[in-house]
Amino acid sequence: MKHILLLATGGTIASRPTAAGGLAPAITSQELLSFLPEAADFCHVEAVQLYNLDSTSIGPEQWQGIEAAIRKNYDRYDGFVITHGTDTMAYTAAALSYMIQQSPKPVVLTGSQKSIYNRDTDARNNLARALLYACHDEAWGVQIVFDNKVILGTRARKTRTKSFNAFSSIDYPETAIFRDKRLIPFLPNPDPDARVRFYDRLDPSVFVLRLVPGMQADCIPLLAGHYHALVLESFGVGGLPGGDNGPMFAAVRDWCAAGGLAVFTTQVPHEGSDLAVYEVGRAAKALPGVVEARDMTPEAVVAKLMWALGQSSSRDETERLFLTPIQRDIL
């Protein structure tokens, strides 16, 4: 029987109503397991309560805590299941994809839209499937298991706030699906003989600016000195209002001249950016210090920048790391 380490971090799956009327995490990792006695038939699970947070409050510090717990226990277990709130699960999945690379052992995130004690909950199904996946011989790498789908950590997005099918795999096939309790794998581990690599350094000084029509450029200089990377969520395949004549272009040029990294991405959910297509984007693309996120998800862009900035203080090296495909984040 496989040995699985369950790391509980909170989220709706572990929430109960508070006296004030909202939901907040309260159920412990052991209690979570007690809702799933059938797990004992197919695996041996040990549970650790790492955090008990709404995932709105989970960020780089907790990603480092999760990475450290997995690194410390990596040789003792066959797989890892992390219970987590759905709101920032895609960020954590992306971050762990950069912090725990080429893992032949599965590192599985799951959660639910309804608490585990609710009668109409999706929690038991998701937790059971996450454990089943973590025990499967063909399981690998950082994945989200949710609503019978297995989604690669770098390609996942929360695309529904309420329905049970809350997560989608963006522009990439699912790694596997469940039909009832049977796992149907689609994508095998591309590198089964690789050795796992752990990274614990992150630099969270990343700012995301969503462009809106009519936006002024005066906010950009205010960010200099506080952030190392500025993500510009542009329109369509990408560009700046006014092209290379506009104040936005001058602000981005000054940002890069001062040593900052500017990363262009798009607000469009599918297919990514291509700054070379339109004149409003071409001049920005040519600036030293400007890179494109191409078809990375917004969550992967942020997590990868924090990881890449954490590995090197040289902008060229950060750029190189950012543009190197990892776990299918760039296709």
The catalytic site residues sit at: 12
Name the residue nearer to ligand ASP (CB basis): 54 or 299: 54
Name the residue nearer to ligand ASP (CB basis): 62 or 273: 62
Q: Which of 111, 238, 239, 260 binds ligand ASP (CB under 6 A)?
A: 111
Q: Which of 2, 5, 7, 12 binds ligand ASP (CB under 6 A)?
A: 12
Stretch 28-57: interaction string toward ligand ASP, x if CB under 6 A = --------------------------xxx-
The site for ligand ASP, by CB under 6 A, has a size of 10
The answer to whether 62 contacts ligand ASP (rule: CB under 6 A) is no
**Residue 59: phi, psi to the nearest 5?**
-155, -160
Least Cβ distance, residue 14 to ligand ASP (angstroms)? 9
Token representation of residue 48: 């650790």
3, 77 Cβ separation under 8 angstroms: yes
Closest residue to ligand ASP, based on beta-carbon distance: 85
Q: Please choose, out of 79-87, 118-126, 148-156, 267-275, the segment that lies near ligand ASP by the rule CB under 6 A.
A: 79-87
Q: Which of 2, 5, 7, 11 binds ligand ASP (CB under 6 A)?
A: 11
Could you tell me whether strands 182-185 and 197-198 are parallel, antiparallel, or unpaired per DSSP bridges?
unpaired
Stretch 113-142: interaction string toward ligand ASP, x if CB under 6 A = x-----------------------------
What length does the chain have? 331
Identify the CA nearest to 140 among candidates 155, 150, 126. Answer: 150
Q: Where are the beta strands (DSSP E) in the chain?
A: 2-10, 15-17, 23-25, 43-53, 79-83, 100-101, 107-110, 142-146, 149-152, 156-158, 167-169, 176-179, 182-185, 197-198, 206-210, 229-234, 261-266, 290-292
Token representation of residue 176: 């596997």
Q: Which of 6, 29, 82, 87 binds ligand ASP (CB under 6 A)?
A: 87
Q: Please choose, out of 84-92, 117-125, 178-186, 298-306, the segment that lies near ligand ASP by the rule CB under 6 A.
A: 84-92
Name the residue nearer to ligand ASP (CB basis): 86 or 327: 86
Alpha-carbon gap, residue 254 to 275, rounded angstroms: 19
Least Cβ distance, residue 54 to ligand ASP (angstroms)? 4
Least Cβ distance, residue 116 to ligand ASP (angstroms)? 11
Least Cβ distance, residue 158 to ligand ASP (angstroms)? 8
Least Cβ distance, residue 76 to ligand ASP (angstroms)? 28
Of residues 243-302, which lie at the interface with ligand ASP (CB under 6 A)?
Answer: none
3 state SS of 219: helix
The answer to whether 85 contacts ligand ASP (rule: CB under 6 A) is yes
Residue type, 90: A
Burial annotation 164-194 (CB, 10 A radius, 16+ → b, else e): bebbbbbebebbbbbeeeebebebebeeeee
Least Cβ distance, residue 235 to ligand ASP (angstroms)? 29
Could you tell me whether strands 149-152 and 176-179 are parallel, antiparallel, or unpaired per DSSP bridges?
antiparallel
The answer to whether 144 contacts ligand ASP (rule: CB under 6 A) is no
Alpha-carbon gap, residue 21 to 19, rounded angstroms: 5
Structure-token match 């690669």, residue found: 152
Residues that bind ligand ASP in the complex, under the rule CB under 6 A:
11-12, 54-56, 85-87, 111, 113
